[in-house]
Structure 1
Amino acid sequence: MSKTATTDPSKGHLGVRTGDDYRASLDDGRELYLDGKRITDPASHPAFKPSVDELARIFDLQHDPEHAPLMTWKDPDSGLTLGRAYQPTRTLEDLRAQRRSAELWLRESMGQHGRSPAFMSSIALGLYDFRHQLERNQTGFGANAEAWYRHCATNDLVLTHALGDPQIDRSADPVDDPDLALRVVEENDKGIVVRGAKQLTTLAPTAHEVLVYLSASFTQRSAEQFVVWCALPLNTPGLITLCREPFGAEPWGHAHPLAGRFDEQDAMLFFDDVLVPWDRVFLLRDGALARTGLGRINAWSAYIGHIRYRERLRTLLATATMLAESIGVDGFRNVQEELGKLATYTEMTEYFIDAAEARATVTDSGLLAPGDTAASRVWSAEVAASAVAVVRNIGSAGVLMQPTENDLGNERLRPLLDRYMRGKNIPADKKSRLFRLAWDLTGDSFGQRQDLYEYVHRGDLARNRINIFKRQDQTEIRSRLERLISGPAGPTTTAHTPEGERS
């Protein structure tokens, strides 16, 4: 039997949220599991509360007179004050205003929030921008996309998206084994019924809605029956959210200063014959359109993603610099070279953001979309591990062995810690917190997760490189090279005959 949603996660809210609005909205009856137990209210559960509180804190900044002009905009259609990331960008100034707002969101999370509302809201904007193409897929789908975008924007919803299919047998075709991909099993007058699973849905336990769209891999296998784009509240009956083990939940005080605040949680979504109402369906069975749309609807999110990555690099660079200073190696040439490498990465990311603005184009719906960033996204994935390695190399063994707060408070241990675990012009307690921060950023479960995230969240790296290669227009340069190699390799010369040998 199919199921359909019964509760609207917006709870009648209109306009930008407060932190308390956000906390209350998560108690919506969703089917959420952690470690075999069902969680009824993620906002109050110890595994989720710190990250919920962190997002709530940033939501409150939207109402702060200092930040509201940057983080919000007045929608002329509804008259409501909405989140800046939802604003349709029609001019370069609109685009740069969205950039400045995202910079604030992502600076507040030190670049650790990959699924920040600043990121996901821009995908809803991308879907809105693509609505005319979706309308060609089936009458009403474009209107559905516009209505969903407006619903998300006016209710200031926290969104996530579900792209990846289960890792069951990637060598097989989903046509032969339907469990390999989410699929439509029924159509009726109410909507479509979907069955299957999606991974890796970051932020799902603390988001309101999920946007489901096809991963690029299956569009290339001509499995058209698996092509479905839709959106659902995360409390939809039959939609089950299974969380991974949380990070930073251990009671070790300052040992996890980042994980304790910024662990977004990743989840598997199981669709147990879920009814998706027709007004929440955006695309069906058109693999070519899905391939085109995948890039189009992510134009703004890719741009915002660079802003987030720049903030992460800035955090890594500052941490590495402080580590070097704390142990007196900041003047060493090899250490300065490593810091210079990380500083170069940070500046390069700034160039990519500027280039996306400089190459912005007007779409068929009249919005100004950031220019393509595919090559710079590949570069970001390629250098991610190297950026983390700089921090690890400078901190070296020190990031592995640092005292806890309880160690620092122990009367027997403290004199030894002050004598042997201090740094250069930095006391033992502050140095230990700095090195614990570096460990949390690069080495522990949270740090390793963040490192892996940088590598995988931009999509399959090999496929992205191949796509960039295939779209290169080499016609002109190949033509010149063909002319160059069509004749002798160098000037033609007459053989020299010595004077005495002439007849």
Structure 2
Amino acid sequence: MTLLDTTDTGRGLLTADRYRAELDDGRELYLDGKRISDPAGHPAFKPAADEIGRLLDLQHHPDHQDLLTWQDPATGQRLARAYQPPRTVEELRVQRRSAEFWHAESLGQHGRSPAFMASIAVGLYDFRHQLEKARTGFGTNAEAWYHHTSRNDLVLSHALGDPQIDRSADPVDDPDLALRVLSENERGIVVRGAKQLTTLAPLAHEVLVYLSASFAQRRGEQFVVWFALPLNTPGLVTLCREPLGSSPWGHAHPLGARFDEQDAMLFFDDVLVPWDRVFLLRESELARTGLGRINAWSAYIGHVRYRERLRTLLATATLVAESIGVDGFRNIQEDLGTLAGYAELTEYFLDAAEARATVTDSGLLAPGDTAASRVWSAEVAGKAVDIVRGIGASGLLMQPTANDLANPRLRPHLDRYMRGRGIDAEHKSRLFRLAWELTGDGFGQRQDLYEFVHRGDLARNRINLYRRYDQSSVRERLQRLIAEPTTSPEVQS
């Protein structure tokens, strides 16, 4: 079957069992120098795969089906709600409510949730007419790929950034600095290079490859390409970073184990991309304008996820403050109020995106521009984490393990000196370990860095905001004000 087979209705909504089985697809996946044959069964990935599977199973639960799924009018199938192309404000808002449910279940830790990536597939589908104008067949490919992903409920990843080799150099002079098209033939295009940082790649079915905003500085149309591939494509090699959800000392890491989405480098070793999986080729201006267009819904859904992360940080900080009796201190309440303000502002940004929604040329309703809210989110992300760290302070570093608590020689000391206000040492230990995992250990630091980098270069985003902001009316009033000399009022004697 090719993507252009419109008679295929796919396999429908994923279940946990089917999802785990489909990851055992022969992909070339490496962790710590060893090839991994079945990521869903490997200890480094199994807890995260099981968590995604648990959430996918909720789509079949009668209590959640109407929220998490929708009926495709073309096939009568129930599909994941995140794949629904919204055409009305209500359809946009139900996507938001569906994403809120998913991200509440994952405590705002799933940056590359299936709900997020499905919205990018919707964006590509929306942009299909522009792609078709650029080259006959590419828009059809985009539409076919959207139907393929939605009707099979595929879990997706995306790859944008180039390797960090020498960012001062130009890929034209050193082609290994960016993924490039080597050649074209009757079967498709051949690409060589690498992409970072591909979050969720070991746990996804397919990857969508396109360009980050930094590509505008490049010369050479051979670097301008959009396509999608299964992660078991021959010649595509996936290298994972060190897992963050385990400890050699056996400490519990409930967040890291369940929500470490993994980040990976993708190496394209002269990979053939079939023509029906190519969406854009050698069209720099189209790629530049299309980047924001296809991400319109993902930016909106991403803000839903960030709202839940802020709510999680606020609730954690409050519980920590209560557990050590500082919740009544004025400075602590001020810090908690700052976090509450951050969480509340995300609601305003989402409401504004809905209020400013516009109909695209394909008839979908796209959320209003969220560029300013993305800049704000990156600016406050580190501050939110610092507040939790400041309240927990040194207590975040020194908490007993489960084995410490089980040691009869240590336990009396722990009960006496490591308890909290109204809670025993064991409960306090679990709470503070949760706070440390959110803010301080490898998983917490990865999540913090993710918030800073995944929205793109902060300085560039600020500059783009400045350049795009319409100051014309205010500038005109000021120019009129200063056009004539200021006259002083006559002094009355």
Q: SS of the counterpart of 1:199?
A: strand
Which one of 407, 419, 422 corresponds to residue 425 of structure 1?
Answer: 422
Change (3 A) 1:58 1:493: closer
Is structure 2 residue 53 aligned with structure 1 residue 56? yes
| 2:121 maps to amino acid | A
Size of the aligned set, in residue pairs, is 487
* CA deviations over 1:40-77 (Å, ceiling 9, x no partner): 00000000000000000000000110111100001011
Equivalent residue number for residue 315 of structure 2: 318
Supply the AA of the counterpart residue of 2:326: V
Alignment of 1:281-430 (within 5 A): 281-430=278-427
Q: Are 1:112 and 2:95 matched, yes or no?
A: no
1:99 aligns with 2:81: no
Cα distance in 1 between the residues matched to 2:490 and 2:76: 84
Give the match for residue 501 of structure 1. Answer: none
The answer to whether residue 184 in structure 2 is matched with residue 187 in structure 1 is yes
Counterpart in the other structure of 1:199: 196
Can you list the C-alpha shifts for 1:344-403, whole angstroms capped at 9, x where unaligned?
A: 000001111111111100000000011110100000000000000010000000000000
| 1:454 pairs with 2:451 | yes
Structure 2 counterpart of 1:479: 476
Per-residue Cα deviation, 1:320-364 (whole angstroms, up to 9, x for no partner)? 000000000000000000000000000001111111111100000
Q: Does 1:153 align with 2:150?
A: yes
Q: Is the 8 A contact 1:202 1:267 kept in 2?
A: yes
Equivalent residue of 2:63, what SS?
coil
> Counterpart of 2:235?
238
- Contact 1:219/1:290 (CA < 8 Å) preserved in 2? no
Shift of residue 251, structure 1, vs aligned partner: 5.4
Say whether 1:76 aligns with 2:73. yes
Aligned-partner residue type, residue 19 of structure 1? A
Q: Distance in 1 between matches of 2:113 and 2:102?
A: 8
C-alpha separation in 1, matches of 2:360 and 2:489: 57
In 1, the alpha carbon distance for the partners of 2:491 and 2:114 equals 75
Aligned-partner Cα distance in 1 for 2:114–2:198: 14
Cα distance change, pair 493–74 in 1 and its aligned pair in 2 (3 A): closer
Counterpart for residue 253 of structure 2: 256
Deviations 1:216-274 (A, max 9, x none): 11123343221100000000000000000001222555531210110000000000000
Corresponding residue to 2:137 among 136, 140, 147: 140
In the TM superposition, what is the alpha-carbon distance from 1:475 to its structure 2 partner?
1.6
2:432 counterpart residue number: 435
CA distance in 2, matches of 1:255, 1:353: 35
2:5 equivalent in structure 1: none
Give how far 1:430 is off.
0.3
SS at match of 1:250: coil
2:19 and 2:250 mapped to 1: Cα distance? 26
In structure 1, the residue corresponding to 2:40 is in which secondary structure? Answer: coil
Q: Is the 8 A contact 2:96 2:301 kept in 1?
A: yes
Distance in 1 separating the partners of 2:218 and 2:191 = 20
The change in CA–CA distance for 1:198 and 1:138 in structure 2 (over 3 A counts) is same
Letter in 2 for 1:16: L
Cα-to-partner distance string for 1:74-105 (whole Å, 9 max, x where unaligned): 10112211000000100011001111111111
The secondary structure found in structure 2 opposite 1:229 is: strand
Larger Rg: 1
> Secondary structure of the residue that 1:267 maps to in structure 2?
strand
> Which residue type is aligned with residue 285 of structure 2?
A
Q: Which amino acid aligns with 1:17?
A: L
- On the 8 A contact 1:255/1:437 being kept in 2, the answer is no
Shift of 1:494: 5.6
Structure-2 change in CA distance of 1:254 and 1:351 (3 Å): farther
Distance in structure 2 (CA, Å) of the matches to 1:136 and 1:462? 33
Give the TM-score normalised by structure 2.
0.97
Match of 2:215 among 215, 218, 224: 218
Taking the aligned partners of 2:9 and 2:39, their CA distance within structure 1 comes to 20
Q: Secondary structure at the match of 1:274?
A: strand
CA contact 2:243–2:260 (8 Å) conserved in 1? yes
SS in 2 for 1:283: strand
Deviations 1:116-152 (A, max 9, x none): 0010000000000000001111100000000000000
Task: Pick the aligned partner of 1:46 from 38, 43, 46.
Answer: 43
Question: Equivalents in 1 of 2:9, 2:419: separation in Å?
Answer: 54
Superposed displacement of residue 39, structure 1: 0.2
Which residue number corresponds to residue 8 of structure 1?
none
How far apart, in 2, do the equivalents of 1:102 and 1:329 lie?
34
Contact 1:132 1:142 in 2 (8 A): yes
Runs (4 or more) in structure 1 with deviation over 6 Å come to: none
Amino acid at match of 2:63: E
Is the Cα contact below 8 Å between 2:246 and 2:252 reproduced in 1? no
CA-CA distance at 1:487 after TM superposition: 1.4
Task: Report if the CA contact (8 A) 1:219-1:227 is conserved.
Answer: no
Q: Judge conservation of contact 2:123–2:295 (CA < 8 Å) in 1.
A: yes
Tell me if the contact between 1:222 and 1:287 (Cα under 8 Å) persists in the aligned partners: no
Which residue does 2:165 correspond to in 1? 168
Unaligned runs of 5+ in 1: 6-10, 499-503
Aligned runs of 1:10-25 on 2, under 5 Å?
14-25=11-22
Query: What does the per-residue CA deviation read over 1:419-476, in whole Å, with 9 as the maximum and x for residues that have no partner?
Result: 0000000110000000000000000000000000000000111111111111112221
The AA in structure 2 aligned to 1:317 is L
Cα displacement (A) at 1:485: 1.2
Q: Deviations over 1:402-422 (max 9, x none)?
A: 000011111111111000000
Note the residue ranges of structure 2 that are not aligned, 5 or more in a row.
Answer: 3-7
**Number of the residue aligned with 1:276:** 273
